[in-house]
């Protein structure tokens, strides 16, 4: 939904080595990774990837960035704040023909690059030391 940006926003950073791979994938298409601006909102724990994390599968969450090509971070923050206040999880949360989906396309391109890199790499993603999901993951180490 967001317009084109200069970044991809990492949600819940500091958990997995996938973050470095995300940065590499983003840089291949000319984007940088920035941390989510309000981690206290708990988005990492409220997203579709979280059930995988709870089972020990290294999971990463990211979304289109807010440093918009037109207007910078101020414009991106204003867009997100207005959307969240007026539409997020409300009856008005519906398609808007004014959306360009340029940010969504960037997000998809980074996801593709990350997936391609993982598929062509011989190593398994891992949790960073001390991350609570690592203990669950370690129970299946011999299966890999």
DSSP of 16-65, one letter per residue?
BTHHHHHHHHHHHTT-EEEE-S-GGG-GGGGSTTHHHHHTT----EEEE-
Q: Give the H/E segment covering residue 8.
A: strand 7-11
If you search the block for the tokens 């970044």, which residue do you land on? 7
Q: Sign of the CA dihedral 4, 7, 9, 15?
A: positive
Query: Is 2 a residue whose pLDDT tops 90?
Result: no
The pTM for the full model equals: 0.90
Angle between helices 102-119 and 18-28 (to 10 degrees): 120
127: Cβ contacts below 8 Å, ≥ 6 apart: 15, 16, 17, 56, 58, 133, 134, 137
* pLDDT the model gives residue 1: 77
Q: Quick one: how far is CA 19 from the chain centroid?
A: 9
Beta-carbon contacts of 81 under 8 Å, excluding residues fewer than 6 positions away, are none
Q: What is the mean pLDDT of the chain?
A: 94
Strand arrangement, sheet containing 7-11: 32-35, 7-11, 61-64
**144/127: higher pLDDT:** 127
Nearest to 2, CA basis, from 61, 68, 58, 50: 68
Instruction: Name the phi and psi angles at 49, rounded to 5.
Output: -80, -20
Kindly state the average pLDDT of the residues 3-29.
97
pLDDT of the residue at 142:
87
What integer pLDDT is reported at residue 23 of this predicted model? Answer: 98
Per residue in 24-80, pLDDT (tens digit) is: 999 999 999 999 999 999 999 998 999 999 999 999 999 999 999 999 999 999 999
């Amino acid at each position: 939904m967001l317009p084109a940006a200069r970044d991809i926003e990492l949600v819940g950073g500091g958990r997995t080595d996938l973050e470095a791979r995300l940065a590499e994938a983003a840089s291949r298409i000319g984007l940088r990774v920035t941390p989510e601006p309000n981690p206290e909102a708990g988005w990492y724990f409220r997203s579709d990837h979280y059930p995988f994390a709870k089972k020990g599968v290294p999971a990463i969450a990211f979304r289109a960035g807010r440093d918009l090509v037109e207007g910078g971070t101020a414009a991106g923050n204003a867009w997100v704040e207005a959307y969240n206040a007026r539409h997020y999880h409300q009856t008005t949360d519906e398609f808007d023909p004014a959306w360009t989906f340029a940010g969504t396309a960037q997000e998809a391109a980074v996801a593709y690059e990350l997936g391609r890199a993982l598929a062509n790499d011989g190593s398994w993603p891992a949790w960073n030391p001390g991350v609570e999901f690592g203990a669950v993951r370690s129970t299946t180490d011999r299966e890999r």
